[in-house]
């Protein structure tokens, strides 16, 4: 196993002080050290945020690849696999996805769907762990938080593209009276996919019809953007095949309601999610998996007056 530079923080040092054996290898300024009292380390925080952009290796641990957070509580593993319901499901910890037992510097997880995994546990600092799967030579970085200190809104906005994909359909439920007439006024349904980097469909069908009856009139690519110097604003472009594009400021109202501000017309639209897709467990090759994301950045100013 490649050496990793591991720095123990004060909290984890205290937790690990009771261990009877620790192996330290010093070579080329790298220190490899495993937390022996693994159970105390894993249970020292309510939530471990899976920082997917820090993942290293070409393999994957399926249940970590899907999770926004993972928790270890007296032998039970919990995960937040959805953004909708984040902070509410399972008293904030998410759903029960399996069981775990600890060894010296390792955790054995028996996932309800993905089976048995023996993973190495390393402390990077006082609230950061590295979980290493030797079979695939893949590492995940987990950041520890207590529930009272966890910024659920930050996770929501940092991963907002997944919110769009957690409902089968987004139905338009409100259009402001203010705003110039435009063609988007007629579009009542949106559907977002993660395939091919971001694909969407829209429909002109009347509101309130069964999802199975929706006829899709338009399609194209969509892109979510970060905004320079404004961490709480995202923008969205809908690039219609052969028809140009629409540009919106994207706001999240609640778990199942988004707001699109059509900048060119000054119109505000609300869309409500229908057909919630709950990622209870991973399921082979199906369902959502997180991937490293680096949204492009727009150098624009917020146009909507809040």
**Tens digit of each residue's pLDDT (9 = 90 or more) over 141-200:** 999 999 999 988 778 877 888 889 889 999 999 999 999 999 999 999 999 987 556 899
Q: How many CA atoms lie within 13 A of 279 on its CB side?
A: 29
The owner of tokens 């591991």 is 6
Query: CA–CA separation, 113 vs 62, rounded Å?
Result: 10
pLDDT in tens, 115-148: 999 999 999 988 999 999 999 999 999 999 999 9
Query: CA–CA separation, 279 vs 165, rounded Å?
Result: 11
To which H or E segment does residue 202 belong? strand 199-203
Query: What number of other Cβ atoms are within 10 A of residue 245's Cβ?
Result: 12
**Helix %, strand %, coil % for the chain, to 5?**
15, 45, 40
DSSP string, 16-40: HTT-S----EEETTEEE---SSHHH
Percent of the chain with pLDDT over 90: 60
What are the Cα distances from residue 252, in Å, to 110, 160, 163, 293? 35, 9, 9, 19
Query: CA–CA separation, 141 vs 56, rounded Å?
Result: 9
pLDDT in tens, the chain (306 residues): 433 333 333 334 344 444 433 333 333 333 344 445 899 999 999 999 999 889 999 899 999 998 999 999 999 999 998 888 888 888 889 999 999 999 999 999 999 989 999 999 999 988 999 999 999 999 999 999 999 999 887 788 778 888 898 899 999 999 999 999 999 999 999 999 875 568 999 999 999 999 999 999 999 999 999 999 988 899 999 999 877 899 999 998 888 899 999 999 999 999 999 998 876 544 444 446 676 567 889 999 999 987
């Amino acid at each position: 196993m490649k050496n990793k530079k591991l720095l123990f923080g004060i909290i984890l040092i205290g937790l690990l002080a009771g261990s009877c054996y620790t192996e330290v290898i010093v070579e080329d300024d790298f220190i490899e050290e495993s937390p022996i009292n693994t159970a105390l380390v894993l249970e020292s925080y309510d939530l471990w945020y899976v920082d997917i952009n820090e993942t290293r290796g070409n393999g994957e641990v399926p249940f970590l690849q899907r999770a926004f957070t993972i928790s270890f509580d007296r032998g039970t593993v919990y995960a937040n696999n959805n953004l909708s319901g984040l902070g509410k499901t399972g008293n904030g910890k998410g759903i029960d996805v399996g069981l775990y037992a600890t060894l010296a510097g390792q955790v054995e997880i028996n996932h309800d769907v993905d089976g048995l995994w023996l993973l190495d546990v390393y402390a990077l600092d006082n609230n950061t762990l590295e979980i290493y799967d030797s079979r695939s030579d893949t590492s995940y970085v987990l950041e520890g938080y207590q529930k009272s200190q966890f910024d659920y809104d930050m996770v929501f906005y940092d991963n907002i593209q997944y919110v769009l994909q957690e409902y089968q359909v987004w139905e338009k439920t409100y259009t402001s009276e203010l705003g110039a007439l435009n063609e988007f006024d007629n579009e009542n349904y949106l559907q977002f996919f993660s395939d091919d980097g971001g694909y969407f469909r829209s429909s002109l069908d009347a509101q309130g019809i069964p999802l199975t009856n929706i006829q899709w009139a338009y399609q194209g690519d969509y892109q979510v953007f970060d905004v320079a110097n404004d961490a709480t604003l995202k923008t969205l472009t809908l690039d219609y095949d052969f028809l140009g594009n629409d540009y919106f400021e994207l706001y999240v109202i609640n778990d199942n309601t988004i707001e699109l501000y059509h900048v060119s017309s000054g119109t505000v639209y609300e869309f409500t999610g229908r057909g919630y897709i709950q990622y209870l467990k991973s399921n082979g090759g199906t369902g959502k998996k997180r991937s490293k994301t680096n949204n492009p950045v727009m150098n624009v100013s917020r146009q909507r007056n809040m």
